[in-house]
Amino acid sequence: MNSVPIAENTDAPRVTGAVTAADPRAEAAGEAMLARGGSATDAAIAVMLALTVVEPQSSGIGGGGFIVRGTADGAVTSFDGRETAPAGADPQWFIGEDGELRDYRTTVRSGLSVGVPGNIAVAAKAHAAHGKLAWAELFQPAIALARDGFTMNVRLNESLSTRFDRAGLTEFGRDLYYNADETPKAVGTTLKNPAIAGMLEAVANTGPEAFYASPSAIQMADMVKAATPRSGGMTPADVAGYVAKEREAVCGTYRGYRICGMGPPSSGAVAVTQILGQLERFDLTALGADNPVTWHLFLESQRLAYADREIYLADSDFVDVPVKQLINTEYLAQRSALIRADAALESVSPGTPRGVTQAFADGDEPPENGTSHLAVIDSAGTMISYTSTIEGAFGSGLIHHGFYLNNELTDFSRSPEKDGKPVANRIEAGKRPRSSMAPTIIYDPDGKPVAAIGAAGGTTIPVQTARSIIGIIDFGLSAEDALGLPLIMAFGSRVLVEEGTWLEARKAEFEALGHGQIVARKPPLKAGAIVWNGAGWDSARDPRLKGKLEYTK
């Protein structure tokens, strides 16, 4: 079945680079590295560091991330900087002395939620393998933003206004971001964060050991442990022992395009590959982007992929994750055969790929939230897709040296077992929680680099990413138009449609197809993409951010 080509074929060399990020100041940091002759890896690290300063609600060095890298000749690898549970953690981590699950909100705002941060370690590992500029040079834009000050924009102001309980949990957070009456400082205010500047300078000059094996690292571990209402809290040894890992990327195909992403502990690439693979037998181009049937099929494929996700996906260092079986074309064809164009499935269950046993139960992970995605393509055609996170907005609320520490451990299942079966994504010592992050790179049918894409928004990330890929490949949309496609997502028997879009006005048609309760909301969406347009790289951030990045209100 033919798809719409991304761009007309051209023999013109792909010699210019591009950067996309959720904040233009971070984007500029990456562009500066490319202008100095840096690699895509150099630029991506500079962007991540700058986001720590200007987008504190979403990501940064207090969290972790995944990096997918692909060269012009098709070599793909990935780097795992996901946070880890402390050595003292056990499957009863979220259960109180009374035998009941601890209150979720209280858990988040405590040391129970904080994993050992991985972003500095994964940046150092990627830079050692693929960096061109000096390590210290990558830190300079972020240091300048923190030391000299950056301007409060609408988006940060709005985020602060609804999350005082986390952003203002500490005295440092209240002093930096809030007025005495607990309202956020005004849009346009210059914010200076010398504490972050000092930490970044130390890591720039000394290397990652300034973060992981230093008096500062001991202070971080001690602070987290003191905020942990049980034994087994974070120790300096947990911090010093953190290891970022190079992983095998997960690659599949869709209409001749090669699509690669991050494997376990992320569920992103498996989910995206399954969603697309199960849809390949349908002519989405002929159906069109504004046809409810198109998105009904998309919903059904989501439901099948997420059913598998809940049972099989977790940290592959602890669980035997059958990645190859889950994305096997024969298995995807079997799952696709369950999808009908004229009616929704009455129920959805996980599949059983050949040779695989369902040894685990479905857990009870809370919703994922804040994250940031960035992408870079350099003059050599090397693509970097990097998703970075501290989990919820402002993470745990705990602040160390001016940056927020993650609440990533709440991505584990709160219950360790169900009906006598262990949950694959239960917490264990040193384990990395399952993630929805889906940094993705794409090669066209001729093997040329054609796109780097990803998203933020918790469990919506694989859906956003797959939706945008469909927009690019099936509908021939520009990067921004693909990112701007409305979101529709299944949550069990409920269906979320993006409020204010044409999907909301046609809820009755989805109901007629057999979908349950249709709920219209504005979900947390923030995708980014760089796409080859035939003459150059088309860089875009989610159009929903328009107006949110301004400095006046």
Locate all alpha helices (DSSP H) within 20-178, ordered by sequence.
24-35, 40-54, 104-108, 119-130, 140-148, 154-161, 164-167, 171-177
Closest CA to 58 of 124, 141, 119: 119
- The DSSP element (H or E) to which 548 belongs, if any, is none
Identified catalytic residue from 84, 107, 285, 371 = 371
**Pair 179, 201: CB distance under 8 Å:** no
Neighbour count for residue 106 (Cβ, 10 Å): 12
CA dist., res. 505 & res. 515, Å (int): 15
User: Angle at CA 13, nearest 5°, toward 11 and 15?
Assistant: 160
Asked if 5 and 476 count as a contact pair (C-beta separation under 8 A), the reply is yes
CB atoms under 10 Å from CB of 392, counted, come to 28
Distance CA 399, CA 161 (A): 18
Dihedrals phi, psi of 389, to nearest 5 degrees: -155, 155
- 460 belongs to the catalytic site: no
Q: Is residue 427 a contact partner of residue 416, using CB atoms and an 8 Å limit?
A: yes
Please answer whether residues 455 and 528 qualify as being in contact, where contact means their C-beta atoms are separated by less than 8 angstroms: yes
CB 314 within 8 A of CB 321: yes
146 forms beta bridges with: none
Residues in a beta bridge with 79 = 67, 246
* Distance from C-alpha of 231 to C-alpha of 79, rounded to nearest angstrom: 31
Catalytic residues: 371
